[in-house]
Amino acid sequence: MKGTLRLMSAAGAMMLAATAAPAMAGTTADLLKRLHEKGILTDDEYQELLKGQATEAAQAPAAPAPAVTPDASGGAAYVRMTDSGVGLQIGDVALKFSGSVNGFYVHDNGEAPNATNSVTGGVATVGGNTSAVRNGLLPGFLKIEATTTQGGWDVGAHFGMYPGINSVSYVGGGANSPGNPRGLQTAGIDFRQTYLTFGRAGFGEVKIGRDIGLFASEQILNDITLLSSGTPSGNVAPSNTTLGRIGVGYIYTDFQPQITYTTPNFSGFTASVGIFEPLSSLTGPEESNKQPGFQAKLVYDGKFGDVATRFWWAGITQKHNVIAGPDYTGWGWDAGAKVTFGPVTLVGTYYDASGLGTTALNLFDTDGLGNKRDSHGFYLQGLTTFGKFSVGGSYGESNLDYANAADALASPTLVRKNSSWVGQVRYGLNSWVTLLGEYVNTRSRAHNGNRASSDAIAAGAILFF
């Protein structure tokens, strides 16, 4: 009876300890130990109660997790690393950063000026030897993207800043104005990309803002000189970029304000179509354009056994309203193929245009009265990889015709053809850095027979993250 009373007394003390305040870890065990030490519990009673307390603790439900403030992630970790890339996940928003930095030593050996090598619109260097440390065809860039899914739609905000390493004058070209290689100057930052996207499976994607165009975009994105220098242009006072193969194989696509829709992938096929800000001529008479421009692109990606392929076609058209002259419609198209088998990649492209000009969109596109000039060009390219080494080469040319006989009389030194040969060696130092060396021979020829030729070598590195 006495033992029973002691057990009841101990049990009551334990209940009191449990209900009087939130129990701390080990409170009940400490109480039992103290009752045992005071002789209220025998050894057997102490061991029996201790076992019972351990069993109850094991069977008790786990304490609820501390309350958290709800957020759009549905209770997931509020800040965490993204699955890939450089970035983080904040709730249901992925914030990612990507970028590139490059620099090259470029030596350009051009002819001294004379009466027979003046070519209007020529890209071969005339002016003697020059040396520079400069960006290649790509300036540096930092791209920031915020993407999420809202209401069943994948949406994103995209910003791309493209800084150069060379100082610029900011005269007649903004961030990409002519170079200014003097002390106490600053480099240009070209804010090329500012656009939003929204889309979902089965619908495709809509892009609104400023981004790369559709016409000629595949030509520059598949060009091996995109990672290096190509034709230097302006090496005596370098700006943000070299020419690469721009003007010696294709017209520069440019980054343009646009509203573009891209379809879902249908068995390897995707199509894009967009309306674009109308561009006035860079060299023709003054314009006041009333209609937008239009561009489209069709791409096929597929594999045939061990051979990977990419085929494309793109087009552009825009009506130009000339203030003092005839209106005209400029148009152009480009097509190409990229084929990869084993370590070898081959690329071939062609373009044809009227009223579009050469080198840049709407450069030398008409005569002084607004009469259209036709143009066409191509490049062929190969790249072979052996482990970390790659060896490549390419040839390309851009051709420009007169608008009419009067144009021929008024512009005798207008460029007829720009062409170049490129030889390139790459070494993949690691997953971020590639070392490159390059030799480029560039030639320009005018309609009246004038010719210019230059040779350039470039060596440097490019980093991507």
* Predicted pLDDT of residue 442: 98
Q: Stretch 258-270: mean pLDDT, rounded?
A: 98
pLDDT tens-digit map of 161-216:
999 999 999 988 788 889 999 999 999 899 999 999 999 999 999 999 999 999 99
HEC profile of the chain: CHHHHHHHHHHHHHHHHHHHCCCCCCHHHHHHHHHHHCCCCCHHHHHHHHHHHHHHHHHCCCCCCCCCCCCCCCCCCCEEECCCCEEEEECCEEEEEEEEEEEEEEEEEEECCCCCCCCECCCCCECCEEEEEECCCCCCEEEEEEEEEECCEEEEEEEEEEEEEEEECCCCCHHHCCECCCCCCCEEEEEEEEEEEEEECCCEEEEEEEEECCCCHHHHHCCHHHHCCEECCCCCCCCCCCCECECCCECECCEEEEEEEECCCECCEEEEEEEECCCCCCCCCCECCCCCEEEEEEEEEEEECCEEEEEEEEEEEEEECECCCCCEEEEEEEEEEEEEECCEEEEEEEEEEECCECCECCECCECCCCCECEEEEEEEEEEEEECCEEEEEEEEEEEECCCCHHHHHHCCCEEEEEEEEEEEEEEECCCCEEEEEEEEEEEEEECCCCEEEEEEEEEEEEEEC
pLDDT tens-digit map of 394-437:
999 999 999 999 999 999 999 999 999 999 999 999 999 999 99
The answer to whether residues 163 and 134 touch, using CB atoms and an 8 Å cutoff, is no
Q: Stretch 273-287: mean pLDDT, rounded?
A: 96
pLDDT tens-digit map of 128-148:
899 999 999 999 999 999 999
Instruction: Work out the pLDDT band at 64, boundaries 50, 70, 90.
Output: very low
* Predicted pLDDT of residue 4: 42
Q: Look at residue 461 and tell me whether its pLDDT is greater than 70.
A: yes
Between 63 and 355, name the one with better pLDDT. 355
- Reported pTM: 0.82
* Predicted pLDDT of residue 173: 78
Distance CA 176, CA 165 (A): 12
* Predicted pLDDT of residue 1: 42
Q: Please state, rounded to an integer, the average pLDDT across all residues of the chain.
A: 88
Distance CA 294, CA 273 (A): 8
Q: Stretch 281-302: mean pLDDT, rounded?
A: 96
Instruction: Work out the pLDDT band at 6, boundaries 50, 70, 90.
Output: very low
* Predicted pLDDT of residue 213: 98
pLDDT tens-digit map of 12-46:
444 333 333 333 334 455 555 655 555 556 666 65
Q: Look at residue 452 and tell me whether its pLDDT is greater than 50.
A: yes
Distance CA 321, CA 331 (A): 14
User: Which amino acid, 411?
Assistant: S
C-alpha distances (whole Å) from 83 to each of 89, 95, 221, 271 are 9, 11, 26, 29
Closest CA to 274 of 292, 255, 261, 289: 261
pLDDT tens-digit map of 299-341:
999 999 999 999 999 999 999 999 988 899 999 999 999 999 9
* Predicted pLDDT of residue 325: 84
Could you tell me the residue ranges of all domains in the chain?
A: 2-59, 79-464
Q: Stretch 447-461: mean pLDDT, rounded?
A: 98
Structure tokens at 327: 């209106």
* Predicted pLDDT of residue 67: 42
For domain 79-464, the CATH superfamily is Porin (2.40.160.10)
Distance CA 122, CA 373 (A): 16
Between 68 and 258, name the one with better pLDDT. 258
* Predicted pLDDT of residue 154: 98
* Predicted pLDDT of residue 117: 96
* Predicted pLDDT of residue 51: 61
Q: Stretch 283-297: mean pLDDT, rounded?
A: 96
